[in-house]
Structure formats: structure tokens, C-alpha cells
Chain A
Amino acid sequence: MKYMKEAVMKNIFMLAALASIFAVLLICVFLFANGIPAMKEIGLFDFLTGRQWTPGNEPPSFGILPMIAGSVSVTLGAIIVGVPIGILTAVFLAYYCPKMIYRYLKPSVELLAGIPSVIYGFFGLVVLVPLTRDLFGGDGNSMLTASLLLGVMILPTIIGVSESAIRAVPDHYYEGSLALGATHERAIFATVLPAAKSGVVAAVVLGVGRAIGETMAVIMVAGNQPRMPVGILKGVRTMTANIVIEMGYAAELHRGALIATGVVLFVFILIINLTFSFLKRRTSL
């Protein structure tokens, strides 16, 4: 009887463990099965490289290049804003911060990660949009605003992963550098940081994944015009925004094209995740 129970429970634990495998398979199957037919009907090449997204026209045109360009450009902007600040803050946490302050600083950084994207989006809408409008002109809903907001949103990711990468560098790198007469800064930036390079790169890759997948905050500040990006003070639409904005009323091929947009996003994310796990294994973070 006791052995029965042991065996049964072991199998239950194992079945539960299969859930994540099952979930990933299910997600792949349903996304691809619903997205690929639309891609076929539109033509994969026309879908990916078409510059016209006009689902309402007769005949409609479903090219998502503007949205791909939109996602890539705001992500790039977010990286330009978030990566330097993130890495420097990680350096502060690992090498400058007194223990007393660290106890409060670290949870604050984690809090940044806990704030919901609608709140970021709302903050962007009521603070950043008017600010960029007054400073740089345009109507404020722009690539620049979205990049600034996303740059802030990826900070906790960049800081967290970079900090562990920096801390994983053995102390004697830093100490050896000091012993050779380097200053505190030189030891960190010329010895420790280069040694933590692949971990820091992993942080950036993870940040890219966060930025490209972000939806609500971007919708609220990016303007969402489905056209090729025309300048950093003009509006853009990302792939994520395209899905949320139009899914509510889309039907037939239009709906299929939106799901296919999700498939393209999903493939982007899979590539980014694989790169991240590869880098992570190499650095054993």
C-alpha cells in the first residue's frame, strides 16, 4: 500500500512537470496553425516586406514591415536610453553602494520591475508625451516618447542581470588591478566590466526581449500610425500594438493577419530567448 502511494505520487509529480512542455507545444501549435494560413494567403514575402497595412481597403493590403520597423526602432531607442543607465547603476550597486543603502536601493530597483505596464503607459501619457511635445515639437506621441518610456521599463532587467554578472567576476581581478596601481574606477571599467562582458550582453539581450514584447505602455504613447517610421518625433506602431488595437473588430483574413503578426513576434522572441540562454550558459549566471 505504501509503495503504491509512493509510485502514484511520483507519477503525479512527473505529470505536473510535463505541464510546461505541454503548454509550450500548445502555444506553438495554436499560434502557427492560426497564423500560417493567413501568411500563405497573403504570401509570406508580401506579408513580411509589404509597406502597406490597409485592412479596410478594397482589396486590402497586409504588409507588416512598418510594424516590424516600428518594433525594432523603439527597441533600439530603449536600448540606447536604458543600457548605459542600467549598466552604470549595476556598477554602483556592486562596487559603490554602502551596505546600509543597498538594503533599500535593491528593493527599489525591484519595485521598478513590479510596476504594471499600464501605470508606466499612463505616466508616459500624462508626463512624457506633453514633455516631449513642449521640448521638441510634434504631437508628443512618438518613437522618442516610446523609446524613453521603454528605456525606463527595461532598467530593472538590465540592472539585475548586469549586477549578477559583475558580482560573478572573482574579486582578485579587481584587487590585482588595484595592486598594479589602477584607480577604483579604472579597475572596474578596464578589468571587471570586460570580464563580465558576456553576462552584460545577456542583460542587454533580455532587455531587448522585454522591450519588443511590451504592449500596453507602448500603445499609450507611440501614436500607432501603421506606416513606415518617418522620424523620431513622429508616431510609430509596433507589432504588439497592431494586435491589440485591431483584434477587437478584425474578422477573417484581417484577423488571420493579426495572428500572423503575433507569430512573427513570437519567432523574434524565440530567437532572443535562445540567444539569452546560450549567453547565460556560457557565463553560468
Chain B
Amino acid sequence: MSGKMSSIMLRALVYAATAITLGVLFFLIGYILVKGVPYLTPSLFALKYTSDNVSMFPAIINTIVMTTLSLLIAVPFGIFTAIYLVEYAKRGNKLVEAIRLTTETLAGIPSIVYGLFGMLFFVTYLGLGYSLIAGSATLSIMILPLVMRTSEEALRAVPDSYREASFGIGAGRLRTVGKIVLPSAVPGILAGVILAIGRIVGETAALIYTAGTVARIPETVFSSTRTLSVHMYLLSSEGFNTDQAYATAVVLLAIVLLINTLSAAIAKKVTKA
């Protein structure tokens, strides 16, 4: 085969691969929208879930509460760790290396392993039972590396001249971090937090055996709950409510699309500034 021929073939392959990647994405989104939107009836957003009307409304509320709780735990830890790594730790510090290694490890652990751990530790050992709090504690560990890494990048992106100017007019390190560095890093941190929300909303395997599957709006943080993703999994595996599963998938997809767009928009703003 001549060089020219093989070049043309390679180019065709490159274009074909990209077309497949995009094709799958658009087909998946399009298929679910077309099949699901007609079933988005008001009754699916009724206050109560019953076996006749598999309303997703309780699951939506649970998802919001679960997300809020997980963020409340993970975000302070993530930001504080990032502050320590960027503003306080000295270069080549052994502790820093240990933190990096463990964070990378956490980032690679699959959600089912988090689920197992959450079941063993929060549900059984701490005796929390299948509950909102056990689920969100598990998820907060899961999203910790994501929040930490994006916060760290955001802090590092703040120019040193900001810090030097602040020190120069007599501010201490804490004040410099709190008044100068953190505020400038907020958009970057926010983009990471939004991605973390996306992971929480989409999570299933880590929740089935930590938060359980009860389809009710929780009374306390010790109630068992199902989030929208768990709801969607149960609907499709039970197999009686496929149309409703399509409709739930539409809502989930819409949330994910919104989250991705928001995060990308904020990230774009950060790189521009």
C-alpha cells in the first residue's frame, strides 16, 4: 500500500472514531428524550410514591437533601486540605506526599467499594442503619478527592503577586488566605463543587446498601431514602414500569446536562480571567 493510501485510510479512521463517539452520545440522549418525554406526566411528580403511581418526587427531594448533606461534609474538608497543601505545607513534605497518594487512591476506588465500606462502617459499626446520614457520609468520602483537587488547582491559579501584596501591607497568612486568595479562587472551587454534585446525583452503587431504597421523603437524617438514580435503577430492574423509568431517565439526564453546562461555563470564565 502506498504512503498516500495509508494516510487517507488513517484519516478516515480518525474521523470515523470521532463520529462514533459523538454518535453514541447524541443517540443515547436523543433516544431517552424521545422515549421518555411523553411519559413525563404530572402524576409522576405527586407527593407520594405508591406501587400504582411510581412518583419520582420523593426521590427528587431525597437527592437534593443527600447532595446538600454530602457537600456540607466534603466541601470544608476539601477546601481546607487544598489550603493546607497550597498555602501552608512546605515543598517535599512527607505528609504532602502521603496526602497526594491517598487522594489518588480514593479517586480510583469504585463506588461499589465505597458502598461496601459505608455499609460496614457507617451502617453496621456506627449503628446508623440504612439512612440518609450513612449514605451522605459515604458519598462525602467519595467526592472528597474531586473537591480537593479542583480547589487545589483553583488556589494555585491565584497569582503569587496577590499574596505578596497582602503580606506587604502587613496581613498575616490566615488573613491573606481568607480575604485575598480564597475569594479569587471561588469560581474554580465552584466548578469543582458542581462536578461533585453531578457525581452524587448519578451515584447508585454506593447508596443501595448505605441509604437503602425507601421511596419516601425522609423525616430525619436517620431515615432510609432512595435518590433519583437508585429509583431509576429499581424501576428498570423491577421491569413493571419501563415507561416511567424512561421518564425518570429524562429528568436525571436533564439534571446532568444542566450541571455539566454550568460547570463548563464557570470553568471557561475562570480561564478567561
B24-32, B50-58, B160-168, B214-222: which lies at the A interface? B24-32
Q: A117-B202, A186-B3, A220-B236 are in contact. Are A269 and B84 (CB under 8 A)?
A: no
Q: Which residue of A lies closest to B173 (CB)?
A: A6
The digit string for B154-188, where 1 denotes a CB below 8 A from any CB of A, is 00000000000000000011100000000000000
Q: Are A185 and B7 in contact (CB under 8 A)?
A: yes
Q: A20-B81, A110-B264, A112-B25 are in contact. Are A215 and B110 (CB under 8 A)?
A: yes
Say yes or no for B241: interface residue by CB 8 A criterion: no
Q: Which residues of B contact A206 (CB under 8 A)?
A: 108
Q: Which residues of B contact A14 (CB under 8 A)?
A: 84, 88, 95
Q: Which residues of B contact A107 (CB under 8 A)?
A: 260-261, 264
Interface of A is mostly: helix
Which of A19, A85, A118, A122 is B202 in contact with, Cβ under 8 Å? A118
Query: Which residues in window 88-143 of B have CB below 8 A to A?
Result: 88-89, 95, 98-99, 101-106, 108-117, 119-121, 125, 141
A38-46, A55-63, A89-97, A169-177: which lies at the B interface? A89-97
Q: Which residues of B contact A262 (CB under 8 A)?
A: 112-113, 116
Q: Which residue of A lies closest to B213 (CB)?
A: A248
Q: Which residue of A lies closest to B261 (CB)?
A: A107
Q: Which residues of A contact B16 (CB under 8 A)?
A: 88
Say yes or no for B45: interface residue by CB 8 A criterion: no
Q: Are A273 and B18 in contact (CB under 8 A)?
A: no
Which of B4, B80, B249 is A122 in contact with, Cβ under 8 Å? B249
Say yes or no for A116: interface residue by CB 8 A criterion: yes
Q: Which residue of A lies closest to B73 (CB)?
A: A19
Q: Which residues of B contact A121 (CB under 8 A)?
A: 233, 236
Closest Cβ of chain A to B63, distance in Å, is 11
Interface size class of B (residues with CB under 8 A): 35 or more
Which of A118, A127, A270 is B105 in contact with, Cβ under 8 Å? A270
Q: Which residues of A contact B99 (CB under 8 A)?
A: 17-18, 20-21
Q: Are A5 and B174 in contact (CB under 8 A)?
A: yes
Say yes or no for A99: interface residue by CB 8 A criterion: no
Binding site for A on B (CB under 8 A): 3-4, 6-7, 10-11, 13-18, 20-22, 24-25, 28, 31-32, 35, 76-77, 80-81, 83-85, 87-89, 95, 98-99, 101-106, 108-117, 119-121, 125, 141, 144-145, 148, 172-174, 195, 198, 201-205, 208-209, 229, 232-233, 236-237, 242, 245, 249, 252-253, 256-257, 259-261, 264
Question: Lowest 10 CB-CB distances: which A-B pairs, in order?
Answer: A213-B110, A116-B202, A88-B17, A16-B80, A13-B84, A185-B7, A215-B205, A17-B84, A273-B108, A185-B10
For the A-B complex with A10-B173, A115-B256, A215-B112 known, give 8 more contacts whose Cβ atoms are closer than 8 Å. Answer: A6-B172, A13-B81, A17-B80, A115-B202, A119-B28, A215-B204, A216-B204, A248-B209
